[in-house]
Amino acid sequence: MDNETAKYIVTHFSNFLTEKEKVAIRHISSTIKLDLTDNSVDHTSSIKVYKKAGWLTENKEVLELLKHGFDSFEISVATRIFTENKDKVFLNYCPKCRQLARTPTAKQCRKCGYEWHDK
Protein backbone atom coordinates (compact mmCIF):
# COMPACT_ATOMS: atom_id res chain seq x y z
CA MET A 1 0.00 0.00 0.00
CA ASP A 2 1.32 3.44 -0.89
CA ASN A 3 1.44 6.45 1.46
CA GLU A 4 -1.39 8.30 -0.31
CA THR A 5 -3.82 5.40 0.02
CA ALA A 6 -2.78 4.81 3.63
CA LYS A 7 -3.35 8.47 4.53
CA TYR A 8 -6.77 8.38 2.78
CA ILE A 9 -7.86 5.29 4.73
CA VAL A 10 -6.60 6.51 8.12
CA THR A 11 -8.14 9.95 7.58
CA HIS A 12 -11.53 8.94 6.22
CA PHE A 13 -12.05 5.68 8.09
CA SER A 14 -10.65 6.66 11.48
CA ASN A 15 -13.66 5.06 13.17
CA PHE A 16 -11.82 1.75 12.68
CA LEU A 17 -8.72 2.87 14.61
CA THR A 18 -7.97 1.11 17.89
CA GLU A 19 -7.53 3.22 21.03
CA LYS A 20 -3.76 2.69 20.95
CA GLU A 21 -3.62 3.79 17.31
CA LYS A 22 -5.57 6.95 18.18
CA VAL A 23 -3.14 7.70 21.00
CA ALA A 24 -0.19 7.12 18.64
CA ILE A 25 -1.63 9.60 16.12
CA ARG A 26 -2.22 12.20 18.85
CA HIS A 27 1.32 11.62 20.11
CA ILE A 28 3.00 12.07 16.72
CA SER A 29 0.82 15.10 15.88
CA SER A 30 1.76 16.73 19.18
CA THR A 31 5.43 15.93 18.65
CA ILE A 32 5.28 17.69 15.29
CA LYS A 33 3.35 20.64 16.73
CA LEU A 34 5.84 21.10 19.53
CA ASP A 35 8.77 20.73 17.09
CA LEU A 36 10.78 18.72 19.57
CA THR A 37 13.67 18.66 17.09
CA ASP A 38 14.35 22.33 17.89
CA ASN A 39 16.92 22.04 20.67
CA SER A 40 17.14 25.81 21.10
CA VAL A 41 13.75 25.85 22.85
CA ASP A 42 13.04 24.46 26.30
CA HIS A 43 9.99 22.25 25.83
CA THR A 44 9.80 20.99 29.42
CA SER A 45 6.65 22.85 30.47
CA SER A 46 4.88 22.20 27.16
CA ILE A 47 5.68 18.50 27.34
CA LYS A 48 4.30 18.36 30.89
CA VAL A 49 1.04 20.02 29.77
CA TYR A 50 0.73 17.79 26.71
CA LYS A 51 1.30 14.63 28.77
CA LYS A 52 -1.26 15.72 31.35
CA ALA A 53 -3.79 16.37 28.57
CA GLY A 54 -3.08 12.98 27.00
CA TRP A 55 -1.58 14.40 23.81
CA LEU A 56 1.84 12.90 24.50
CA THR A 57 2.28 9.43 25.90
CA GLU A 58 4.93 7.31 27.57
CA ASN A 59 2.95 4.10 26.93
CA LYS A 60 5.53 1.62 25.63
CA GLU A 61 3.01 -0.28 23.50
CA VAL A 62 1.94 2.93 21.75
CA LEU A 63 5.51 4.11 21.24
CA GLU A 64 6.36 0.66 19.85
CA LEU A 65 3.76 1.26 17.12
CA LEU A 66 5.73 4.35 16.06
CA LYS A 67 9.25 2.89 16.30
CA HIS A 68 9.68 2.66 12.50
CA GLY A 69 8.28 6.14 11.88
CA PHE A 70 4.86 7.55 11.16
CA ASP A 71 4.70 6.55 7.49
CA SER A 72 5.32 2.90 8.34
CA PHE A 73 2.78 3.10 11.17
CA GLU A 74 0.18 4.68 8.90
CA ILE A 75 0.67 2.03 6.20
CA SER A 76 0.35 -0.84 8.68
CA VAL A 77 -2.76 0.67 10.27
CA ALA A 78 -4.38 1.34 6.90
CA THR A 79 -3.58 -2.20 5.75
CA ARG A 80 -5.21 -3.59 8.89
CA ILE A 81 -8.29 -1.38 8.51
CA PHE A 82 -8.67 -2.27 4.84
CA THR A 83 -8.17 -6.01 5.43
CA GLU A 84 -10.64 -6.15 8.32
CA ASN A 85 -13.26 -3.86 6.75
CA LYS A 86 -13.12 -4.38 2.97
CA ASP A 87 -16.89 -4.05 2.68
CA LYS A 88 -16.91 -0.72 4.56
CA VAL A 89 -13.82 1.01 3.15
CA PHE A 90 -14.55 2.75 -0.15
CA LEU A 91 -11.59 3.77 -2.26
CA ASN A 92 -13.01 6.43 -4.55
CA TYR A 93 -11.07 6.29 -7.83
CA CYS A 94 -11.51 8.72 -10.71
CA PRO A 95 -13.35 6.93 -13.54
CA LYS A 96 -11.11 8.63 -16.10
CA CYS A 97 -7.52 8.47 -14.79
CA ARG A 98 -8.02 5.87 -12.00
CA GLN A 99 -6.26 8.06 -9.40
CA LEU A 100 -7.54 8.13 -5.84
CA ALA A 101 -9.94 11.02 -5.23
CA ARG A 102 -9.44 13.34 -2.27
CA THR A 103 -12.37 11.92 -0.26
CA PRO A 104 -14.77 8.96 -0.45
CA THR A 105 -17.56 11.32 -1.63
CA ALA A 106 -15.54 13.46 -4.07
CA LYS A 107 -16.97 13.82 -7.56
CA GLN A 108 -14.06 15.68 -9.14
CA CYS A 109 -10.54 14.39 -9.63
CA ARG A 110 -7.76 16.49 -8.13
CA LYS A 111 -5.26 15.00 -10.58
CA CYS A 112 -6.94 15.30 -14.00
CA GLY A 113 -9.91 17.56 -13.17
CA TYR A 114 -12.54 15.14 -14.49
CA GLU A 115 -15.99 15.54 -12.91
CA TRP A 116 -18.50 12.75 -12.41
CA HIS A 117 -21.30 14.55 -10.57
CA ASP A 118 -24.01 13.47 -13.01
CA LYS A 119 -22.83 9.91 -13.55
Looking at the structure, tell me whether residues 106 and 78 fall in a common domain.
no
pLDDT (mean) for 73-78: 98
- pLDDT for residue 81 is more than 70: yes
Total domains, the chain: 2
What pLDDT, on the 0 to 100 scale, is given for residue 35? Answer: 84
Looking at the structure, tell me whether residues 107 and 49 fall in a common domain.
no
Reported residue count of the chain is: 119
Looking at the structure, tell me whether residues 27 and 76 fall in a common domain.
yes
Looking at the structure, tell me whether residues 77 and 37 fall in a common domain.
yes
Looking at the structure, tell me whether residues 98 and 79 fall in a common domain.
no
pTM: 0.86
What pLDDT, on the 0 to 100 scale, is given for residue 9? Answer: 98
Nearest of 16, 25, 104 to residue 71 by alpha carbon: 25
Q: Domain range for residue 95?
A: 91-119
Among the residue ranges 14-18, 22-26, 46-50, 105-109, the one predicted with the least confidence is 46-50
